[in-house]
Structure 1
Amino acid sequence: MSSPHELRRRIRSISGTAQITKAMEMVAASKMRKAQESALAGRPFVYRLYRIQREATTRMGDFSHPLLEVREVRKRAIILIGADKGLCGALNSNLFRLAAEFDTQSTLFITAGKVAAQFIAQTHRQLVAEFAYGDTPRFTEARAIAAYARDLFLKREVDQVQVIATRFINTLTQQPLCLEYLPVAEIKGLKIPGTRPEEELIADTTEALFEPSPEVVMGYLLLQYLDIYIYQVLLNAKASEQSARMVSMKNATDSAETLINDLTLEYNKLRQGNITQELLEIAGGQSD
């Protein structure tokens, strides 16, 4: 059985930890609201842009574009977008579980976030580029990641590029996903509202005219689409990270408070027992 002194020491130690987790919870909550608003505000535009891309790429006729070229996959690149810090529950481990499924010899990794880069280094995988993004992701950060991945594909250093990141659903739910990026095609595994099935798009024989030309329109559209794609992924990743950290720190604070209450009750019982024992000894001595 622990002594009163030991119990007091444990209570003070856990109280200090609870103060830290509470402060981290409040910081994450303030950042979470802004990150969630940014992620949700951009979705309607990204969904519309995706639908435009799907309509345009299926109606190009004989025109082709290097970013649409489907090749046999001998080498692939993975854009792994993780958190900058830990203490966000299972968020990072769920992402890394997906990344670990790919063959180490034929897969190159592009990372965004410090924890993602640390995972690739620790597991001795091929890291070709490391990028950073802040609590408020900027479009320039997304464009740099997109440009690097695009160059790898166009130079035929890889035959496919995929994105592993977390999709923000709500404060309590974040979904790890592996999504298609290059060649530009239908995104599988993610239901986008208003998008017609691939079979329906191909079967549609409505005439499509590109002005001034398919080369100009598609050259501009695909570059913008790929940049905005990564930007929206970064926004979702940051909203997921802050939400997961806030929930994780709240759970840690609640657990600490429960443990403090249990230890305090044990301390009071032990102290009361000691006092009762002393009173009995005093009473017994007087009777003697």
Structure 2
Amino acid sequence: MANTKDIRRRIKSIRNIGQLTKAMQMVAASKMRKAQNVALAGRPYATLMNRVLVSLQQRTDSKLHPLLQVREVKKELVVVISTDKGLAGALNTNLLREAASFDLAKTSYVVSGRKARQFIARTRRDMMADFELKDAPSFPETKELAKFCVEKFLSGEVDKVSVLYTRFINTVNQKPVVRTLLPISSFELPQAPAEGATPQENADPMIGYLFEPTPEGVLDVMLPYYLHYQVFQMILDARASEHSARMVAMKNATDNAQQFIKDLTLEYNKMRQASITTELLEISTAQMAVGA
């Protein structure tokens, strides 16, 4: 059974851990706000780009474009976007569980993040490339990853490219998502008018514009850029999810440490009170024995 000295030592150790997790929580909260603002700021631009591409698709025979051609999937390339560090709750566990669900014989992987790289190596899966990105990646950095995927698809080495990442929903909710990057069989924007949207929002954004040299030529330029930006937006979502999950995990760890300290302090006070009571009883017993 632990004595008061052991309990004091445990309280001191847990208090130090609580201070560490509190500091990590504050750092993660600062990074989280920046990452969330960047990720959410890019979504309206991506939505408008989808609307423009839908309009272009209606003006050209897009089925003839190589990035839109659907082939029989004999080989699939999966891009896994994970974190470099841990202490992010179940974020990486849920993500890598999805990565393990792909057919081992027909799937190759491109990874970004140390956790994904370790998982692919540990499970002996085929890894084509590993891209190291900064904590706040720029568009040119992520563009290289997208270009690699496009090259593999156009060369015929793979018939489908999917991206597995953690989509940011809110601070406490992040969800692993698999999105098809290539072929671009359909855009995210629905063809039908959205319910509750204004006529301006549902209107064709390209009405009144002329395409030079041709709609097909514009599509040739827009599709690669669309892919590059989609990959960039997914990575921003993954970063926002990472910092949000880490902030929540560190907050939970700090709260648990404080609760643990309260429980140990209560136990320490009970043991100390019992010790004092025992000493008083011994003194009283000794006095009674002397008086007798």
Asked if Structure 1 and Structure 2 have the same fold, meaning a TM-score greater than 0.5 normalized by the shorter chain, the answer is: yes
| Alpha-carbon offset, residue 185 of structure 1 | 2.3
> Residue 101 of structure 2 aligns with which residue?
101
> Residue 40 of structure 1 aligns with which residue?
40
SS in 1 for 2:64: coil
> In 2 relative to 1, CA 270–68 (structure 1 residues): closer, same or farther, beyond 3 Å?
same
> Residue 122 of structure 1 aligns with which residue?
122
> Residue 150 of structure 1 aligns with which residue?
150
Larger radius of gyration: 2
C-alpha separation in 2, matches of 1:151 and 1:7: 62
Question: Structure 1, unaligned stretches of length 5 or more?
Answer: 199-205
C-alpha separation in 2, matches of 1:13 and 1:181: 48
> Residue 190 of structure 2 aligns with which residue?
195
| Alpha-carbon offset, residue 55 of structure 1 | 3.0
C-alpha separation in 2, matches of 1:209 and 1:67: 24
Matching residue's letter, 1:72: E
The aligned runs of 1:51-62 (5 Å cut-off) are 51-61=51-61
| Alpha-carbon offset, residue 196 of structure 1 | 1.9
Cα deviation digits, residues 201-246 of structure 1 (max 9, x gap):
xxxxx9x974212442111101110110011011110000000000
C-alpha separation in 1, matches of 2:115 and 2:192: 37
* Conservation of the 8 A alpha-carbon contact between 2:70 and 2:185: no
| Alpha-carbon offset, residue 66 of structure 1 | 1.1
Paired-residue identity, %: 49
Matching residue's letter, 1:221: M
Matching residue's letter, 1:249: M
What is the TM-score normalised by the length of structure 1?
A: 0.91
Matching residue's letter, 1:173: N
* Conservation of the 8 A alpha-carbon contact between 2:39 and 2:240: yes
> Residue 176 of structure 1 aligns with which residue?
176
Number of positions where the alignment pairs a residue of Structure 1 with one of Structure 2: 276
The aligned runs of 1:186-265 (5 Å cut-off) are 186=186, 195-197=190-192, 210-265=211-266
Question: Structure 2, unaligned stretches of length 5 or more?
Answer: 194-206
* Conservation of the 8 A alpha-carbon contact between 1:132 and 1:141: no
> Residue 279 of structure 1 aligns with which residue?
280
C-alpha separation in 2, matches of 1:62 and 1:256: 58
* Conservation of the 8 A alpha-carbon contact between 2:70 and 2:183: yes
Displaced runs of 4 or more, over 3 A: none
SS in 2 for 1:80: strand
